[in-house]
Structure 1
Amino acid sequence: MAIKLDMVGIVVADMSRALAFYRALGFDIPEEADGRPHVEIAQEGVRIAFDTIDVARDVYGGWEQPAGHRIELAFRCDDAEALNALYGRIVERGYEGRREPWDAFWGQRYAIVADPDGNLISLFA
């Protein structure tokens, strides 16, 4: 039996705030989604789902605020210039930059930001 990654789920404290961040990353998310408890976006065969804490409690039978770095989402940019520009836009909009763009030893241009819920988001080219 083969399996395929289909969806990554993110629990969010404030749907509107979380979706604003992912729009700033470049995802096309309709504004009317801000008031929904569950939102999904698709990109080339993989979905990203956003659920409110209440939805997570209902699905999992409870929910506790996680601590520490648990998972990383990494998004590929077209090139180093695009990565630098995206990082700048994210930080200018008031989101947390965890590590400014740098040329990593493994050959990629890399940067790290945090979404409003503290999840680390890597940008690379």
Structure 2
Amino acid sequence: MTPRLNTIDIVVSDMDTAIAFYARLGLHFKIDPHSPEHAGCDLPNGLHVMLDTEAFRTPFLPGRSAPVGGPRTLLCFEFDAPGEVDAKYAELTGAGHRAIAEPFDAFWGMRYATVADPDGNGVDLYAPLPAH
């Protein structure tokens, strides 16, 4: 049997702050009516993304502690054009989110930037560069 990656669960310290951040990237979470500490978002490609507060996840992950240092996981958002990467980076950092890597033209042919979500998770923003 081959497992299928169909859900990503992000542990957050503040649900409202996380929902607001990801809304800027086009993800619209719905709070679970049974638990305000759990929210979900279905993406068009079939992937389901969840947000769970630390308080919600702690009973299921005994001994869990938040990662330290740089982001250990990155969520990657593709844009159609390099200018869109720059604009979204400016929007997110202008809203007070921490910059990790300013927009740059990567040697692999993409415009790339990285910001931190409210809990320090890396969020890559990228778009293909025009062919020269």
Q: Mark yes or no: TM-score above 0.5.
A: yes
Deviations 1:11-39 (A, max 9, x none): 10111111111011222235xx3982011
Greater Rg, structure 1 or structure 2? 2
Deviation of 1:119 (Å): 0.4
Residue identity over aligned pairs, in percent, reads 38
**What residue in structure 1 maps to residue 16 of structure 2?**
16
Q: TM-score w.r.t. structure 2 length?
A: 0.85
The answer for the alignment partner of 1:49 in structure 2 is: 50
What RMSD in Å do the two structures reach over aligned CA positions?
1.7
Residue of 76, 79, 86 corresponding to 1:77:
79
Runs of 4+ in 1 over 6 A off after TM superposition: none
Aligned to 2:117: 115
Q: Which runs of 5+ in 2 are unaligned?
A: 128-132
Could you list the runs of 5+ residues in structure 1 that have no partner in the other structure? none
TM (norm. structure 1) is 0.90
Matched-pair contact (CA < 8 Å) for 1:53–1:63: no
Q: How many residues align?
A: 123
